[in-house]
């Protein structure tokens, strides 16, 4: 394929969701493909993100289910949780999946290098462990992101904290954990630890978690954290962290004067593209103000033969997005089928307990973009909770553009909201109208039936 005598038609840096998809599809189109991964095949999602996190969510949810089951007549006398057993089983599954990622590449004919690759120039990479030099016609950067935390000048004692990466390496369940942040990761892990019986405190610099989401969703999640037993401290940040000899060895001081003790402190204050030392400057690849690799709609960087997909581009830091971007790139460059991934109306879930499912615009975004919108929302105690004594409610909201009745946003806070929003995402992406929602017959008795039975517009103050 290559006009010059390069070692590979395509070389992919990074064996995560976006990289492996692009490599496999390009190889399927007949390209000679190489891929380098410096850590473990599978990337953040499989090794230290979505997958092990979701297992932790399940583990934590079982504790709540046991309590609920008792109210349903089950005699469950022992409810102890063995963290070591859970972690061993979880890691075994992660290992299995990582193995599948590797065999998927090998079976597709991709040559995998288990080491770090850095740019020498736009067509040349240096493999750091073997010292080999590799050349490629086209190069795809799919190195993902990594957790960010302030340095010790900004936050003395930060070295005593862990990030989400460290959570998966814990050898015992903490008794007291303090989590900094109010985004996806902070909220998800606050629920995980609280559900596992850990005394959990969340410290957030704003006043309501999940900035950027619909305000009603934020309020539901914020209050839900408290109902789940999480102590939520707002409008402050850490000032310093000290290690002590006490039984609870970490001591945090906050800028509002409050102090806390913990045995684990987790910083969940954002992620950054993993580009340090990659040598992008040697290849003419432009980096933007948020440390993202700047790309066009076809994922092409400022260098003519280099593309980037996934979290490193910070378009939408989600696994399925990286996969779609990688696939579109491979089809465009090697399959004779130029196409780009449409980033509009991506459904997403936050695995809090209950979950958040959201697709389309938040109310504030819809009002700004379209002016007049109708709001339909409902909050109710689901049937399951009538018998188990839980007061937890679910929340459903639809945002409808007045000019043409199209549903431009849907937001759910409920058990299984992630599953619901995947389905609802199809209708919203297709541009379904509220009348079409209403014409859909309900499935009874379910939580989701409320999506098609809301008839009354919500008016402020009513
Ligand atoms: P987010 O950007 O979602 O949240 C970062 C949080 O840290 C925000 O609450 C932010 O506050 C706070 N913060 C930022 N800087 C500071 C600081 N200097 N001091 C104190 N607080 C600070 O990042 P996450 O790490 O939670 O997640 C990264 C991305 O990964 C997500 O955006 C998402 O795309 C993806 N992800 C997706 C998941 C899923 O699909 N379920 C799960 C986990 C991650 P503020 O709100 O004020 O900015």
Catalytic residues: 444
Same domain, 22 and 132: yes
Distance CA 123, CA 136 (A): 5
Strand partners, 178: 201, 265
Ligand 1 center–CA 182 separation, angstroms: 6
Low-confidence ranges of the chain (pLDDT < 70): 1-3, 461-462
User: Is residue 340 in a domain?
Assistant: no
Spatial neighbors of 361 by CB under 8 A, at least 6 apart, are 369, 399, 408, 409
182 CA: nearest ligand 1 atom = 9
Return the best residue to mutate from 55, 147, 183 for the ligand 1 pocket (most ligand atoms within 8 A of CB): 183
Residue identifier of the C-alpha nearest atom 33 of ligand 1: 317
- Quickly list DSSP for 102-130: HHHHHHTTPEEE-S-EEEEETTEEEETTT
Same domain, 418 and 282: no
Same domain, 199 and 253: yes
Same domain, 417 and 328: no
User: Is residue 2 in a domain?
Assistant: no
Same domain, 289 and 245: no
Same domain, 264 and 289: no
Backbone φ and ψ of 269, nearest 5°: -110, 25
The residue from 269, 287, 308 where one domain ends is 269
Residue identifier of the C-alpha nearest atom 15 of ligand 1: 269
With beta carbons less than 8 A apart as the criterion, state whether 214 and 358 touch. yes
Ligand 1 center–CA 267 separation, angstroms: 10
351 CA: nearest ligand 1 atom = 41
User: Is residue 297 in a domain?
Assistant: yes
What is the predicted pLDDT for the residue at 97?
98
* CA-closest candidate to residue 117, choices 285, 330, 272, 275: 275
Question: H-helix or E-strand containing 287?
Answer: none
With beta carbons less than 8 A apart as the criterion, state whether 97 and 51 touch. yes
Q: What tokens does 291 get?
A: 């440390």
What is the predicted pLDDT for the residue at 277?
97
Same domain, 308 and 276: yes
The residue from 218, 237, 269 where one domain ends is 269
What is the predicted pLDDT for the residue at 67?
87
Same domain, 384 and 418: yes
User: Is residue 461 in a domain?
Assistant: no
181 CA: nearest ligand 1 atom = 7
Ligand 1 center–CA 58 separation, angstroms: 22
Q: What tokens does 225 get?
A: 């954290």
User: Is residue 381 in a domain?
Assistant: yes
Distance CA 156, CA 165 (A): 20
Distance CA 200, CA 177 (A): 5
| Angle between helix 184-195 and helix 215-227 axes, rounded to 10 deg | 20
Report the CATH number at residue 168. 3.50.50.60
What is the predicted pLDDT for the residue at 3?
59
Domain with 206 in it: 158-269
How many domains does the chain contain in total? 3
Same domain, 217 and 243: yes
Same domain, 373 and 315: no
User: Is residue 309 in a domain?
Assistant: yes
Backbone φ and ψ of 201, nearest 5°: -130, 130
Backbone φ and ψ of 351, nearest 5°: -90, 55
Return the best residue to mutate from 165, 166, 181 for the ligand 1 pocket (most ligand atoms within 8 A of CB): 181
What is the predicted pLDDT for the residue at 205?
98
What is the predicted pLDDT for the residue at 201?
98
Same domain, 389 and 242: no
Ligand 1 center–CA 72 separation, angstroms: 38
Same domain, 126 and 202: no
* Ligand 1 pocket by Cβ (under 6 Å): 150, 180-186, 188, 205-206, 211, 237, 268-271, 317-318, 348-351
Ligand 1 center–CA 301 separation, angstroms: 25
Residue identifier of the C-alpha nearest atom 29 of ligand 1: 317
């Amino acid at each position: 394929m290559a006009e010059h005598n390069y070692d590979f038609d395509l070389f992919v840096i990074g064996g995560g969701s976006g990289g492996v998809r692009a490599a496999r599809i390009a190889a399927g189109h007949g390209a000679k493909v190489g891929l380098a991964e410096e850590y473990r095949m599978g990337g953040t999602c499989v090794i230290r993100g979505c997958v092990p996190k979701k297992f932790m969510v399940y583990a934590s949810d079982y504790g709540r289910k046991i309590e609920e089951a008792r109210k349903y007549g089950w005699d469950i006398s022992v409810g102890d949780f063995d963290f070591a057993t859970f972690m061993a089983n979880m890691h075994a599954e992660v290992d299995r999946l990582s193995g599948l990622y590797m065999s998927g590449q090998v079976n597709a004919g991709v040559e995998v290098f288990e080491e770090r690759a850095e740019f020498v120039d736009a067509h040349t990479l240096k493999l750091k462990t073997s010292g080999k030099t590799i050349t490629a016609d086209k190069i795809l950067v799919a190195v993902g992101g990594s957790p960010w935390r302030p340095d010790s000048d900004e936050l003395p004692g930060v070295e005593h904290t862990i990030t989400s990466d460290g959570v998966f390496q814990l050898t015992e369940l903490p008794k007291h954990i303090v989590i900094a942040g109010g985004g996806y990761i902070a909220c998800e892990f606050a629920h995980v630890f609280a559900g596992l019986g850990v005394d959990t405190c969340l410290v957030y610099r704003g006043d309501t978690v999940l900035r950027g989401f619909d305000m009603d969703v934020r309020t539901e999640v914020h209050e839900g954290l408290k109902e789940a037993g999480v102590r939520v401290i707002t409008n402050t940040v850490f000032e310093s962290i000290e290690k002590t000899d006490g039984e609870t060895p970490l001591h945090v001081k906050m800028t509002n004067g409050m102090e806390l003790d913990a045995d684990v402190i987790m910083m969940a204050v954002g992620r950054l593209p993993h580009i340090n030392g990659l040598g992008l400057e040697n290849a003419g690849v432009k980096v933007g103000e948020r440390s993202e690799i700047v790309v066009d709609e076809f994922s092409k960087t400022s260098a003519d033969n280099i593309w980037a997909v996934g979290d490193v581009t910070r378009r939408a830091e989600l696994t399925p997005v990286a996969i779609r971007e990688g696939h579109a790139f491979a089809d465009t460059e090697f399959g004779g089928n130029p196409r780009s991934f449409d980033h509009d109306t991506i459904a997403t879930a936050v695995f809090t307990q209950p979950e958040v499912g959201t697709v389309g615009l938040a109310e504030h975004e819809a009002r700004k973009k379209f002016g007049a919108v109708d709001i339909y929302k409902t909050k109710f105690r689901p049937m399951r909770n009538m018998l188990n004594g839980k007061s937890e409610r679910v929340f459903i909201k639809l945002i409808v553009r007045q000019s043409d009745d199209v549903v431009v946003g849907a937001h759910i806070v409920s058990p299984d909201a992630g599953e619901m929003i995947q389905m609802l995402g199809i209708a919203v992406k297709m541009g379904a109208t509220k009348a079409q929602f209403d014409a859909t017959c309900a499935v009874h008795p379910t939580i989701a039936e409320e999506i098609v039975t809301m008839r009354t517009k919500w008016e402020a103050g009513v």
